[in-house]
Structure 1
Amino acid sequence: MSDLVDAAAASEPRVLELRVHGVNNTTPAALLDLPQDDIQCLRGDDKAAFWLAAPRQNPPDRARGHIPAGIRREAYSWGGLVRSQTAKRTASRSIALAFQVLALPFSIGNGAMWTRRLPHDSDTGATRLRANITAAAARLFGFVLTLLFTTTAVTVAVDLIALQCSIGGHCSAWPSDLLGSAVASTPGLAALLTPSRVLALLAIVPVLGVALLVLFARIARMRYDTLHTHETAAGAKAREAMEAAKAKANASAEGSPAAPDRRAVLAQPAFWSNRTTAHLALVHFAAATALTTAQVSWNLVVLDASPGFPAILFWAAVVLLVLSAVAAAILPTMTITPSAPEGPRWSAWLAQGLLVLAMLCFALLLVLLVLPSAPDLSSTDGLAGDELPPLLIITLGGVLALSGVAWRPRGSRAGTAWLGSTPAVFMLLSLTVGVLTSSAVIALTTIVVAGWGGPAALVAGAATRTGLHVPDVFLALGGMIAVALLLSVAVLVTFLIPRKLLADRAKTWLVQDEDDPLRARLERDRRRAAFIHLIEPATGIIATLMAVAIGLALTWVWAGMLWQAPLPGVASGTARVLGIRVADILVLTTWSLTVVGVALAAVVALGVLLRKPGLLAIVWDVTCYLPRTAQPFGPPCYAEHAVPDIAQELDEWLCEHPERRAVLAAHSMGAVIAVSALGLLGATTRDPTVVDRVALLTFGSQLRTYFGRLMPELVGPAVLGTYPARGPRPWKRDPWSMDALDDDRAWDAPPSQPSMTRLGGALLPGDGVPWINLWRLSDYLGFPAVAGRTSLRRGETTYENAIDRYAQEIDRTIDPPVVVTHNDYFRVPAYQDALLELLGGPEIAERVDGGSAAR
């Protein structure tokens, strides 16, 4: 310990405290707990930067912003990687928020790829084949989401606006000549805008919509350098080490033959390189273009007695659509060595070839529609065959989602969320959000084109297939999902019935509740946190009800198609549920979908006006952690930038002097980033002593209870050496009472010492790093990181949990004191005590002459 104390007493600090924030994008000043004038930017940009605490006068001990002597305090701010911090341009912020809304199903669906059982080097042929099949199914589900987006755009632009409103004249609030009086008053313009040319013009909208998704995805990829490093000598060394490690790897994470490598997935350097989703994006674009061509050309086939060329275009588009689906399933997007010669070359050729052919078919369709000899569309009553494409797409999505129940083998389900059905839950929620968004956009469009009577007109059209109508599947699914949401709320309310009592668990952790005026408020915050902790069972219930709703709706619509009766029970007008006509229920649920559409628009508007990160932005941040592998239009992975940044900063600091130390202090989602950075640091540093000089301090984290159960191969018990977590029980007074039991659950990586003090498991070489985790009962997102109790017994050995520490729940650095929940861990004594303990004890500060903080 003497060398550490001597280092702290030196003129230059030898200890780096690097703070990393969570998803709510804490500002650098708040992260360092100092005024803005007392911090300075070391390096970085508006996306991600390192900031240094440089107070003019160090605050006294235990005061806000106090820096213990001998410590250099930095903060890493990465919030700009996922959304703008400044939001100076309202228009650009509006587009970004609208994109967040539209891409939310994509981001949730992408998570299914990472919640399945990831392959190991020791897998047998059958297990490896299973990994390949589930990876292909996950990509195929992402493909379905793109097609759902496309067919929704076709329904709105081509079916509703072009054919039913502009040409058919069924929309009371929409001019039948598209441009109204402007067309009639301009000589020659009416002759120019023939019905077929109006169709050609609006057929471009779906293709353009997906083209914008491709553009957004490409711009996002350009913001993230592969294995990003700053241009320094240490950074160049880290880059060389990462590239050398990647060059040695000859396996893919999807199950290709591989040389044995026992490191955890997060310790693979190439895990943080950009995935080859650019090719997958082109395949999705080709499929969207082919789907648009097929739907529009089929309309021409039906209208023309001897279609000829339109029929050729239709079948060519169908073939391209099938080939695109196959390509989406087989394209490698999780390769450890994306630079392997055979991979990217054939992937690029395949993707580009499909896109060229799809664009050629679409261009020929447009030429056919704009020629004077174009088919006559004056008698059209909507898009022919509009029912089948969305029905097939959503049915395929539902089948893939339900198959996720079997993606994880039985032997790997213990300790996972929803009994190993996490992929199914992710896909069901993704499909639900996608269908709801599509139905809401369609319902909102009918209000625009047909006035306030639009929802009732849609239901009437579903009964007669005349007048204003849309595919039945959107009405049926929208109605069923709306009912399922109401049932979900009713079930979730029952979670409140047992009053949450956490006194027993508080005593287990030796929590001393003070006789304080804030005692009542503290108890309320604890009970609220316990209720919020039930998000896992709540999500499972919602997903189950959504599965039932989607299944019933699809059965309803398929039955109508087989019986050639649109939505059985609606046309007759006599079918009732609980005494209410089914037609009236559909009108009501269609109106509710309209409200959902308005709410989505309000989310965008309020986000622009308030310029604050709302719940949508937080969900976006969490899903952004996972690399895009199944859905190319999901959010970009900020971790591909942040994780190498942090690993390099630690490597540079520690390599400059053999006596230097570092404490990586991470809050909430930042704990996942920090653990990932440690894995990368251990795999790439060329100084074997570097990892031994790092300590980890986490607080308000979800490593064990959420991420470890959702993605066990990434941050689960075997990777971090934690005790497997049991999920919360919603109808118990203490939801975590089962997790706090000392039972016989399997423990993959028990510590080698009786006292648990280090981050172990397969993530880091050797004995890992010292680790302390702070949590409290009032934290609605913070949990113990190693075990739900203070000690565990296995046979004759008792393991003491010295990692999880209880943090104070009242901030007394301000007057009057306040109860703290998920934030402000920096301001309680437990934080500084943990920091000094990780560095060797409080004498590190006491032995420094003068007691001033390091600048």
Structure 2
Amino acid sequence: MMSEAAYPQRVIRLTGRQTATSIDGPPVLLTWQASVIPPLIVVLLVLFGWLAHRAWQLARAEREAVARDYPDEAQDRARTRRIAYARAMAALTDRGPRVVAVTSGVTLLLGAGALVGALTTDETPGEAAQGAYPVVHGAAETAQALGSWLIGLGFLLFVTWGRRAYKDAAARRTIGILWDVGTFWPRAAHPFAPPCYAERAVPDLTWRIATWTRATGGRLVISGHSQGSVLAAAAAWQLAPSARRRVALLTYGSPLERLYGRWFPAHFGPAALGSLHREVDCWRNLYRLTDPIGGPVRLPGDRDLGVDHVPLTDPLAYGRTDLHPLPAPILGHSDYQADPAFAEERRKLLARLRPDLPTPRGEPEPEPPAA
């Protein structure tokens, strides 16, 4: 076991209270695991530095693209820089798998090294390195002490982030997105989380769609944003083929391919999404280059299928116009309905469905498609 000199009793020193008996330090395995936290943080800092450099490169490249997207506008360097930066930050989502792979691999290697070190010696990392060079011994003790403090700091950050979610709308939105994605999957994937809401939401949505189409014999456009597009796709998969042929999908800001297709290819890969497109009557997907979550569906042969719309313009106007007397905001992942393309694509979907079938109440009758 470790000596008191190797692991100082920090609680006693901080509170100033002395006891007649000494308190043993933490288990050797815990000390070894704490000592690998600083190297892991160094790796994370290197990854974040690489992401920052990559974002800077992308932002520089996007400035020329922004100028091409608004050719008739007098260029404002600050405005162009903000739009290019928003596009570059949104593109970093595609680097997520690489970051997760490197972090997971390094964590596995460091954790295995800590386990081997704890099983082969009864000493802490600092004591195990006493016979080595002074630099190695000092680095081991520093990693051990720093790691033990970082464990406590991590707990405080976890509590602080939870408190912040009650006061900060942005933090609450981020936690809500992670919560939605996590609790979408069955309970076996997250046994310590609340029950899967998809087990209630998807059957209910499927029942509503099937009931309405059966009772009216009509057609229906299922519109889904972000996580709602995943629910819409899951509900369409559960429909009977006769009802599915009366349904059109309109997805926007959708993570179906960008996130779900990459992380869960067996359920949302190209084959699954391609079969969904063949089974519904028609499908249209909207996305923006400034959206860090939504993206194209990228079905095989999509040039002929026409599922993905060209990237929507964001912001809608570069400078001040009659419709936008104030500078138009960069919307990113939100407010797709504000884009005129949304209403236009919905109208086209209704027109592509069987024109002899009634529309839902409140929907205008679509014009017949041009010959």
Displacement after TM superposition at 1:467 (Å): 2.6
Equivalent-residue separation in structure 2 for 1:504 and 1:691 (angstroms): 43
Q: Is the 1:573–1:583 contact (alpha carbons within 8 Å) kept by the matching residues of 2?
A: no
Q: What SS does structure 1 have at the residue aligned with 2:250?
A: strand
Displacement after TM superposition at 1:581 (Å): 4.0
Determine the structure 2 residue equivalent to 1:99. Answer: none
Determine the structure 2 residue equivalent to 1:591. Answer: 149
Residues 606 and 496 from structure 1, CA distance in 2 versus in 1: closer, same or farther, beyond 3 angstroms? Answer: closer
Q: What SS does structure 2 have at the residue aligned with 1:819?
A: coil
Equivalent-residue separation in structure 2 for 1:543 and 1:571 (angstroms): 27
Residue of 463, 486, 492 corresponding to 2:48? 492
Q: Which amino acid aligns with 2:228?
A: G
Residue of 796, 809, 828 corresponding to 2:339? 828
Displacement after TM superposition at 1:712 (Å): 1.8
- Is structure 2 residue 113 aligned with structure 1 residue 552? yes
Q: What SS does structure 2 have at the residue aligned with 1:497?
A: helix
Question: After superposition, what is the alpha-carbon deviation per residue over 1:824-846, rounded to whole angstroms, capped at 9, x for unaligned?
Answer: 111011111111110117xx9xx
Residue of 546, 559, 566 corresponding to 2:123? 566
1:135-150 → structure 2 map (5 Å cutoff):
none
- Is structure 2 residue 59 aligned with structure 1 residue 541? no
Q: Which amino acid aligns with 1:603?
A: W
Q: What SS does structure 2 have at the residue aligned with 1:759?
A: helix
Q: Is the 2:259–2:293 contact (alpha carbons within 8 Å) kept by the matching residues of 1?
A: no
Residues 534 and 664 from structure 1, CA distance in 2 versus in 1: closer, same or farther, beyond 3 angstroms? Answer: same
Q: What SS does structure 2 have at the residue aligned with 1:697?
A: strand
Determine the structure 1 residue equivalent to 2:14. Answer: 452
Displacement after TM superposition at 1:609 (Å): 4.3
- Is structure 2 residue 360 aligned with structure 1 residue 804? no
Higher relative contact order structure (alpha carbons within 8 Å, sequence separation ≥ 6):
1
Equivalent-residue separation in structure 1 for 2:47 and 2:188 (angstroms): 34
Equivalent-residue separation in structure 1 for 2:135 and 2:39 (angstroms): 12
Equivalent-residue separation in structure 2 for 1:768 and 1:801 (angstroms): 13
Question: After superposition, what is the alpha-carbon deviation per residue over 1:707-741, rounded to whole angstroms, capped at 9, x for unaligned?
Answer: 112212211111111xxxxxxxxxxxxxxxxxxxx
Residue of 272, 284, 304 corresponding to 1:772? 284
Q: Which amino acid aligns with 1:535?
A: G
Displacement after TM superposition at 1:475 (Å): 2.0
Determine the structure 2 residue equivalent to 1:707. Answer: 260
Equivalent-residue separation in structure 1 for 2:268 and 2:291 (angstroms): 21
1:248-327 → structure 2 map (5 Å cutoff):
none
Residues 483 and 635 from structure 1, CA distance in 2 versus in 1: closer, same or farther, beyond 3 angstroms? Answer: farther
Equivalent-residue separation in structure 2 for 1:474 and 1:814 (angstroms): 59
Q: Which amino acid aligns with 1:553?
A: A
**Cα RMSD after superposing both structures:** 3.4
Equivalent-residue separation in structure 1 for 2:113 and 2:124 (angstroms): 12
Q: TM-score, normalised to structure 1's length?
A: 0.36
Q: What SS does structure 1 have at the residue aligned with 2:46?
A: helix
1:74-85 → structure 2 map (5 Å cutoff):
none
Determine the structure 1 residue equivalent to 2:230. Answer: 672
Equivalent-residue separation in structure 2 for 1:532 and 1:662 (angstroms): 33
Determine the structure 2 residue equivalent to 1:480. Answer: 36
1:830-845 → structure 2 map (5 Å cutoff):
830-840=341-351
Residue of 648, 652, 661 corresponding to 2:219? 661
Equivalent-residue separation in structure 1 for 2:215 and 2:69 (angstroms): 42
Greater helix proportion:
2
Question: After superposition, what is the alpha-carbon deviation per residue over 1:20-70, rounded to whole angstroms, capped at 9, x for unaligned?
Answer: xxxxxxxxxxxxxxxxxxxxxxxxxxxxxxxxxxxxxxxxxxxxxxxxxxx
Determine the structure 2 residue equivalent to 1:632. Answer: 191
Residues 504 and 689 from structure 1, CA distance in 2 versus in 1: closer, same or farther, beyond 3 angstroms? Answer: farther
Residue of 143, 167, 182 corresponding to 1:623? 182
Q: Which amino acid aligns with 1:557?
A: A
Equivalent-residue separation in structure 1 for 2:123 and 2:207 (angstroms): 61
Q: Is the 1:785–1:804 contact (alpha carbons within 8 Å) kept by the matching residues of 2?
A: yes
Q: Is the 1:480–1:553 contact (alpha carbons within 8 Å) kept by the matching residues of 2?
A: yes
Determine the structure 2 residue equivalent to 1:606. Answer: 164
Equivalent-residue separation in structure 2 for 1:815 and 1:665 (angstroms): 30
Residues 852 and 591 from structure 1, CA distance in 2 versus in 1: closer, same or farther, beyond 3 angstroms? Answer: closer
Q: What SS does structure 1 have at the residue aligned with 2:36?
A: helix
Q: Is the 1:702–1:782 contact (alpha carbons within 8 Å) kept by the matching residues of 2?
A: yes
Determine the structure 2 residue equivalent to 1:523. Answer: 84
Q: Is the 1:669–1:702 contact (alpha carbons within 8 Å) kept by the matching residues of 2?
A: yes
Displacement after TM superposition at 1:526 (Å): 0.8
Q: Which amino acid aligns with 2:349?
A: L
Q: Is the 1:807–1:831 contact (alpha carbons within 8 Å) kept by the matching residues of 2?
A: no
Gaps of 5+ in 1: 1-169, 171-445, 455-465, 683-687, 722-748, 750-757, 761-766, 793-798
Q: Which amino acid aligns with 2:127?
A: V
Q: Which amino acid aligns with 1:483?
A: P
Q: What SS does structure 2 have at the residue aligned with 1:475?
A: helix
Q: Percent identity?
A: 25
Q: Is the 2:244–2:281 contact (alpha carbons within 8 Å) kept by the matching residues of 1?
A: yes
Q: What SS does structure 1 have at the residue aligned with 2:245?
A: helix
Larger gyration radius, structure 1 or structure 2: 1
Residues 592 and 698 from structure 1, CA distance in 2 versus in 1: closer, same or farther, beyond 3 angstroms? Answer: same
Q: TM-score, normalised to structure 2's length?
A: 0.78
Q: Is the 2:125–2:141 contact (alpha carbons within 8 Å) kept by the matching residues of 1?
A: no
Equivalent-residue separation in structure 2 for 1:480 and 1:662 (angstroms): 56
Residues 681 and 503 from structure 1, CA distance in 2 versus in 1: closer, same or farther, beyond 3 angstroms? Answer: farther
Equivalent pairs counted in the alignment come to: 331
Displacement after TM superposition at 1:620 (Å): 2.4
Q: What SS does structure 2 have at the residue aligned with 1:804?
A: coil
Residues 504 and 489 from structure 1, CA distance in 2 versus in 1: closer, same or farther, beyond 3 angstroms? Answer: same
Equivalent-residue separation in structure 1 for 2:248 and 2:223 (angstroms): 9
Residues 614 and 558 from structure 1, CA distance in 2 versus in 1: closer, same or farther, beyond 3 angstroms? Answer: farther
Displacement after TM superposition at 1:823 (Å): 1.0
Q: Is the 2:248–2:280 contact (alpha carbons within 8 Å) kept by the matching residues of 1?
A: no
Q: Is the 2:36–2:114 contact (alpha carbons within 8 Å) kept by the matching residues of 1?
A: yes
Q: Is the 1:667–1:701 contact (alpha carbons within 8 Å) kept by the matching residues of 2?
A: yes
Determine the structure 1 residue equivalent to 2:19. Answer: none
Question: After superposition, what is the alpha-carbon deviation per residue over 1:644-682, rounded to whole angstroms, capped at 9, x for unaligned?
Answer: 121122122222211x22111111122111110111123
1:216-227 → structure 2 map (5 Å cutoff):
none
Equivalent-residue separation in structure 2 for 1:695 and 1:614 (angstroms): 29
1:225-240 → structure 2 map (5 Å cutoff):
none
1:291-440 → structure 2 map (5 Å cutoff):
none
- Is structure 2 residue 224 aligned with structure 1 residue 720? no
Equivalent-residue separation in structure 2 for 1:574 and 1:514 (angstroms): 72
Equivalent-residue separation in structure 1 for 2:36 and 2:129 (angstroms): 19
Equivalent-residue separation in structure 1 for 2:304 and 2:135 (angstroms): 58
Determine the structure 2 residue equivalent to 1:267. Answer: none
Determine the structure 1 residue equivalent to 2:294. Answer: 782
Equivalent-residue separation in structure 1 for 2:251 and 2:238 (angstroms): 18
Q: Is the 1:646–1:677 contact (alpha carbons within 8 Å) kept by the matching residues of 2?
A: yes
Equivalent-residue separation in structure 2 for 1:582 and 1:474 (angstroms): 14
Displacement after TM superposition at 1:484 (Å): 0.9
Residue of 648, 652, 656 corresponding to 2:207? 648
Question: After superposition, what is the alpha-carbon deviation per residue over 1:745-786, rounded to whole angstroms, capped at 9, x for unaligned?
Answer: xxxx7xxxxxxxx713xxxxxx43310001121111121112
Q: Is the 1:772–1:802 contact (alpha carbons within 8 Å) kept by the matching residues of 2?
A: yes
Q: Which amino acid aligns with 1:807?
A: L
Equivalent-residue separation in structure 1 for 2:49 and 2:73 (angstroms): 32
Determine the structure 2 residue equivalent to 1:691. Answer: 244
Q: Is the 2:260–2:268 contact (alpha carbons within 8 Å) kept by the matching residues of 1?
A: yes
Displacement after TM superposition at 1:590 (Å): 1.2
